[in-house]
Amino acid sequence: MASVDKERIEAAVAEILAAIGEDPAREGLAETPRRVAALYAELFGSVGADPAAALGSTFGAPDGGGHASAQPVLMRDITFRSVCEHHLLPFEGVVHVAYVPGAVVAGLGSVVAVVESASSRPQLQERLTDDIADALERGLGASGVLVVVDAKHGCVSARGPRQTRSTTLTLAARGSLAEPAARAETIALIGTDAPRHVTGETA
């Protein structure tokens, strides 16, 4: 995982302020480069990290797990924030996660930690959705994974047509939860509308 070079960020922010015609030394802006550097250290703290490594506590699945009748574990409304890599503007929303356990189940905080790790880097929503699904599939040996992300994008609300109420849904399905019937049932349990964009389905 790469460390964030705060001094370089401060210098770059000061240069941007000068480039737009501002005085980086004036009152009100003098501390802005330092503040932005601290913010970026938080927003991009997981660059280069494997989200699966964020999985902490795991526990043996009931009855050993991994059998055909295993039921999915579902977490809804995990809040997140990330930064779009195209314009470096924030996007934020909620993640819904379902997985069918293999031999182990994750502590609930570990699922949140995976979402945090995957989102704390320059991202695209489609990739974020896939990154979370891949991390849970690999890290838990899950036989099925489904991830839905519902997000509002700063690059949509702050520029161009400025659609302040628009959100985007993406979905990634893996293994048994990529099967149409299981996917539809899980989406119904989540209680969200059918996703408008589907990514990375594998049976």
The catalytically annotated residue of 10, 96, 137, 153 is 153
Residue 125 designated active-site: yes
Nearest to 126 by CA among 166, 91, 158: 91
Q: Which position among 7, 42, 87, 163 bears the catalytic label? A: 87
Q: Is 163 a catalytic site residue?
A: no
Which residue in this structure is represented by tokens 């979905």? 171
Q: Is 126 part of the annotated catalytic residue set?
A: no
Backbone dihedral region for residue 181 (phi beyond 0: left; psi -120 to 50: alpha; all else: beta): alpha
Q: Is 137 annotated as catalytic?
A: no
The verdict on whether 87 is a catalytic residue reads yes
Give CA torsion, residues 110, 111, 114, 119, to 10 deg: -130
**Strand pairing category for 90-100 and 73-84:** antiparallel
Catalytic residue, chosen from 10, 84, 96, 137, is 84
Q: Which of 7, 42, 67, 86 is catalytic?
A: 86
Out of 10, 96, 123, 125, the active site residue is 125
Name the residue with tokens 């048994």. Answer: 176
Catalytic residue among 85, 163, 185, 197: 85
Residue 92 falls in the annotated catalytic set: no
Q: Is 85 designated active site? A: yes
Catalytic residue among 22, 126, 155, 179: 155
139: alpha, beta or left, given left = phi > 0 and alpha = psi -120 to 50? alpha
Which residues are designated catalytic? 84-87, 125, 153, 155
